[in-house]
């Protein structure tokens, strides 16, 4: 049986560890967080009361230099009857252990272990039964929900494990470098060579000037950001290491060649990208991390059924944007899930 304990977020949130063995830096684990919907009493059920996402499970995966802390996102789903789960991948957030290189992997497929274990737990089994998830029947539908790098990881996972998830929702997924595909192809051999000799060396200078953090502070209430652990989500992104960047570029190349995630897919993106070396107020209502037009093009390579939703005024994390953009995004996700018949 899975043992749950109170989570650092408090309130209705619980978490459990997933043992992933060891690597050169020591013991590995991932952490699965959950929030369950309020139980409907006997009389409400007797008189036919139900919620629109009553038969839905959601598995959220965070982005680079990040972890799960978004209570409002979880409550959007649980208030409508869904069971919400969030996975802190190995070497991120709750899963980071002393002496580990933050977020470091050399192959994105390494995350298969914790994703499969999470789905096994969601379906009422133990993490040790992860290799059987394709054969674990479920009357509930599973939505994979990925942000930024998590969107890349889940897209590639869904392509290689068709028939397990029922839908894919991507929040500003990192499907292409912040440069064009041609430039990516040009720099890939250089990064690969550096990763071959010195995989843990920093691959590029720090390009995060802190503007994204400033924009979030202006957009979110203090209560939303006060719970953030700065060791798990610093104001400036963690260093980008050559071995990790090689893995990401390899993922982008797979997307560019075309994959098929096998399920309906909703991609949420800001309407605009803004990059500058000095702060300007346009950064309050734009993605300052990803070139969203390039990502929108790459999204069409995910499969034959892709919806791209462009949200005016949204930041890189759509659900940490200004209230109007965030409300727009929630409305579109709800409409898309209902149209996809997630409520059935």
Question: Is residue 344 included in any domain, yes or no?
Answer: no
pLDDT score of 240 more than 60? yes
Span 55-96, pLDDT tens digits: 999 999 999 999 999 999 999 999 999 999 999 999 999 999
Identify the pLDDT of residue 198.
86
Identify the pLDDT of residue 180.
60
Confidence of residue 284 (pLDDT cuts 50, 70, 90): very high
Query: What is the pLDDT averaged over residues 264-272?
Result: 98
Across the beta sheet with 14-23, the strand order is 5-6, 14-23, 26-35, 83-88, 56-61, 141-147, 167-171, 265-270, 306-311
Question: Is residue 66 included in any domain, yes or no?
Answer: yes
Identify the pLDDT of residue 138.
81
Question: Is residue 110 included in any domain, yes or no?
Answer: yes
Identify the pLDDT of residue 48.
54
Domain extent for 323: 5-339
Question: Is residue 143 included in any domain, yes or no?
Answer: yes
pLDDT score of 255 more than 90? yes
Identify the pLDDT of residue 39.
79
| Overall pTM surpassing 0.85 (yes/no) | yes
How many domains does one find in the chain? 1
Question: Is residue 53 included in any domain, yes or no?
Answer: yes
Identify the pLDDT of residue 157.
98
Question: Is residue 60 included in any domain, yes or no?
Answer: yes
b vs e for 122-134, b when ≥16 Cβ sit within 10 Å of the residue's Cβ?
bbebebebbeebe
Span 7-19, pLDDT tens digits: 999 999 999 999 9
273's tokens? 């990208």
Query: What is the pLDDT averaged over residues 325-344?
Result: 89
Domain with residue 330: its CATH number is 3.40.50.1820
Neighbouring C-beta atoms of residue 247, cutoff 10 Å: 22
Least confident of 191-205, 221-235, 256-270: 191-205
Sequence-distant (≥ 6) Cβ neighbours of residue 190 within 8 angstroms? none
Count the residues in the chain: 344
Share of residues in the chain with pLDDT > 70 (%):
93
Position with higher pLDDT, 133 vs 39: 133
Identify the pLDDT of residue 26.
96
CA 176 to chain centre: 15
Identify the pLDDT of residue 103.
97
Distance CA 329, CA 167 (A): 17
Question: Is residue 268 included in any domain, yes or no?
Answer: yes
């Amino acid at each position: 049986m899975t043992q749950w304990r109170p989570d650092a977020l408090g309130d209705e949130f619980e978490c459990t560890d997933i043992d992933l063995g060891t690597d050169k830096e020591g013991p590995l684990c991932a952490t699965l967080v959950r929030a369950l919907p309020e139980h409907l009493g006997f009389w409400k059920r007797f008189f036919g009361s139900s919620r629109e996402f009553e038969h839905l499970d959601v598995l959220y995966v965070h982005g680079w230099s990040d972890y799960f802390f978004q209570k409002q996102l979880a409550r959007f789903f649980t208030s409508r009857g869904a069971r919400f789960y969030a996975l802190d991948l190995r070497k991120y957030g709750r899963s980071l252990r002393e002496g580990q290189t933050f977020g470091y992997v050399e192959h994105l497929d390494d995350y298969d272990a914790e994703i499969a274990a999470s789905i096994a737990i969601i379906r009422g089994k133990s993490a040790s039964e992860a290799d059987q998830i394709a054969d674990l029947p479920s009357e509930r539908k599973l939505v994979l929900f990925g942000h930024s790098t998590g969107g890349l990881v889940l897209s590639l996972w869904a392509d290689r494990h068709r028939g397990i998830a029922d839908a894919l929702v991507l929040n500003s997924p990192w499907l292409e470098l912040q440069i064009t595909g041609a430039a990516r192809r040009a720099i890939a051999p250089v990064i690969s060579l550096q990763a071959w000799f010195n995989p843990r060396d920093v691959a590029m200078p720090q390009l995060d000037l802190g503007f994204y953090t400033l924009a979030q502070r202006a957009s979110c209430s203090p209560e939303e950001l006060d719970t953030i652990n700065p060791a798990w989500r610093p104001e400036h992104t963690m260093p980008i290491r050559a071995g990790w960047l090689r893995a990401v570029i390899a993922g982008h190349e797979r997307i560019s060649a075309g994959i098929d995630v096998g399920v309906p897919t909703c991609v949420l993106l800001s309407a605009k990208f803004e990059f500058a070396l000095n702060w300007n107020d346009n950064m309050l209502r734009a993605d300052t991390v990803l070139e969203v037009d390039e990502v929108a093009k790459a999204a069409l390579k995910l499969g034959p059924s892709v919806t791209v939703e462009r949200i005016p005024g949204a930041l890189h994390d759509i659900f940490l944007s200004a209230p109007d953009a965030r409300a727009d995004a929630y409305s579109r996700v709800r409409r898309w899930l209902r149209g996809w018949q997630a409520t059935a």
